[in-house]
């Protein structure tokens, strides 16, 4: 019985999402009822899967529309039909904007309150941290850690260029990058959320 779906819209070779993909596969292997799918451009209709309670979509969120850009086109809300009791988590840029979230709700068949996303830019390293917390604490903590992911992206968006430069200068070594930026005051409110990366730096190694 499928109770959760982790849907990847990125190409398997994309280094930016390598840690996320590995975590999705591990979570699916270790969590009863949770499955991982690569989206390959086809419409998906899960309305008869009444046990499906959690759906997480990851990839490149579009700035202009309710969509994730994948290697085989764009996944739009009308291509993902869900049972009414499901909760949809959109792990990509901009998809939490009010008008886009409403589009996801209308297209998938969910009430708007059952759709969550972030309204600005997102950082794939932070998305990796979210899944690391789920690996440690279980899927029951999804809403708590998703809120922490939203706050982290919102609070640090103005520093994304600095953080990415520190990571690049460290050769993709998450621990070395942390040493370069740990004194940044804006990081302080998010240390608990980011601590997952320090416990599992292998999932953030070599991301592009």
Per-residue pLDDT tens listing for the chain (208 residues): 899 999 999 988 899 999 999 999 999 999 999 999 999 999 999 999 999 999 999 999 999 999 999 888 999 999 999 999 999 999 999 999 999 999 999 999 999 999 999 999 999 999 999 999 999 999 999 999 999 999 999 999 999 999 999 999 999 998 999 999 999 999 999 999 999 999 999 999 987 6
Q: How many domains does the chain divide into?
A: 2
Q: Is residue 129 part of a domain?
A: no
> 104 and 30: one domain?
yes
> 11 and 81: one domain?
yes
The closest of 207, 48, 69, 72 to 126, measured between CA atoms, is: 207
Give the pair of three-digit tokens for residue 96: 């939490």
Domain end, chosen from 81, 116, 151, is at 116
User: Whole domain around residue 184: which residue ranges?
Assistant: 140-201
Backbone dihedral region for residue 86 (phi beyond 0: left; psi -120 to 50: alpha; all else: beta): beta
> 146 and 109: one domain?
no
> 29 and 112: one domain?
yes
Separation CA 156–CA 169 (nearest Å):
19
Q: Is residue 123 part of a domain?
A: no
> 92 and 9: one domain?
yes
């Amino acid at each position: 019985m499928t109770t959760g779906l982790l849907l990847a819209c990125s190409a398997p070779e994309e280094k930016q999402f390598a840690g996320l993909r590995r975590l999705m596969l591990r979570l699916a292997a270790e969590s009863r009822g949770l499955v991982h799918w690569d989206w390959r451009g086809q419409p998906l209709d899960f309305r008869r899967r009444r046990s499906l309670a959690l759906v997480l979509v990851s990839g490149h969120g579009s700035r202009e529309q309710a969509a994730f850009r994948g290697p085989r086109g764009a996944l739009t809300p009308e291509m993902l039909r869900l049972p009414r009791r499901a909760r949809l988590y959109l792990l990509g840029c901009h998809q939490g904007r009010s008008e886009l979230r409403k589009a996801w709700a209308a297209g998938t068949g969910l009430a708007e309150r059952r759709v969550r996303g972030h309204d600005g830019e997102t950082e794939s390293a932070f998305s990796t941290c979210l899944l690391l917390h789920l690996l440690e604490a279980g899927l029951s903590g999804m809403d708590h850690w998703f809120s922490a992911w939203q706050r982290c992206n919102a609070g640090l968006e103005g520093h994304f260029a600095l953080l990415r430069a520190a990571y690049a200068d460290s050769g993709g070594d998450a621990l070395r990058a942390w040493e370069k930026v740990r004194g940044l005051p804006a990081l302080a409110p998010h240390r608990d959320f980011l601590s997952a990366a320090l416990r599992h730096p292998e999932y953030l190694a070599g991301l592009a």
